[in-house]
């Protein structure tokens, strides 16, 4: 298992290690960079190292229109934040899943951050 070792805006290793799972599209550098950038505001909320798991899946079956699934789990000390979204537009689906995490995070007491 390898986590994304990206640097934060101060040049330090980021406080969220990101594990990407899903089909091969999920591991493309451009997709990882987009998600890493979108998770930045969440990353800034944590004082200590935290692990996030991002699962991406694109379903291109003939029976259905293109369906993207994005699941994000952030593992905190005593809690896990989870969001899932599905949609036809991949980047909108990512944004929506991250926004759900952000809304949940903004309502948590500081002891979980």
Q: Is residue 103 part of a domain?
A: yes
Is the pLDDT assigned to residue 40 strictly greater than 50?
A: yes
**Domain tally, the chain:** 1
* Residues 36 and 67: beta-carbon distance below 8 Å: no
The pLDDT of residue 22 is 84
CATH number at residue 67: 3.30.160.100
The pLDDT of residue 61 is 67
Is the pLDDT assigned to residue 87 strictly greater than 50?
A: yes
Q: Is residue 43 part of a domain?
A: yes
Is the pLDDT assigned to residue 78 strictly greater than 80?
A: no
Rounded to 5 degrees, φ, ψ at 79 are -155, 160
The pLDDT of residue 99 is 94
The pLDDT of residue 7 is 43
For residues 38-51, average pLDDT: 77
Domain extent for 76: 16-107
Q: Is residue 11 part of a domain?
A: no
Q: Is residue 55 part of a domain?
A: yes
With a pLDDT cut of 70, the percent of the chain lying above it is 73
Taking Cα atoms as reference points, which of 102, 113, 38 lies closest to residue 6? 38
Question: Higher-confidence residue: 111 or 85?
Answer: 85
Q: Counting Cβ atoms within 10 Å, is residue 29 exposed (0-12), middle (13-18) or buried (19+)?
A: exposed
The pLDDT of residue 92 is 93
Q: What is the pLDDT of residues 22-39, one digit of tens each?
A: 877 777 889 889 988 888
**Across the chain, which distance is largest between two alpha carbons, in Å?**
47
Q: Is residue 66 part of a domain?
A: yes
The pLDDT of residue 2 is 37
CA angle, 97 as apex, 93 and 98 as ends, to 5°? 115
CA–CA distance, 26 with 31 (Å, rounded to integer): 6
Q: Which residues neighbour 30 within 8 Å (Cβ) at sequence distance 6 or greater?
A: none
Rg, the chain, Cα only: 14
Residue with tokens 């935290």: 50
């Amino acid at each position: 298992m390898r986590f994304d070792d990206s640097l934060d805006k101060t040049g330090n290793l980021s406080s969220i290690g990101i594990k990407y799972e899903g089909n091969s599209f999920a591991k493309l550098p451009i997709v990882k960079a987009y998600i890493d950038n979108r998770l930045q505001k969440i990353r800034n909320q944590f004082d200590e190292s935290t692990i996030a798991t991002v699962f991406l899946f694109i379903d291109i079956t003939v029976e259905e229109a293109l369906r993207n699934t994005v699941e994000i789990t952030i593992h905190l000390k005593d809690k896990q934040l989870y969001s899932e979204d599905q949609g036809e537009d991949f980047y909108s689906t990512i944004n929506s899943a991250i926004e759900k995490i952000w809304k949940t995070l903004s309502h948590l007491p500081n002891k979980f951050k």
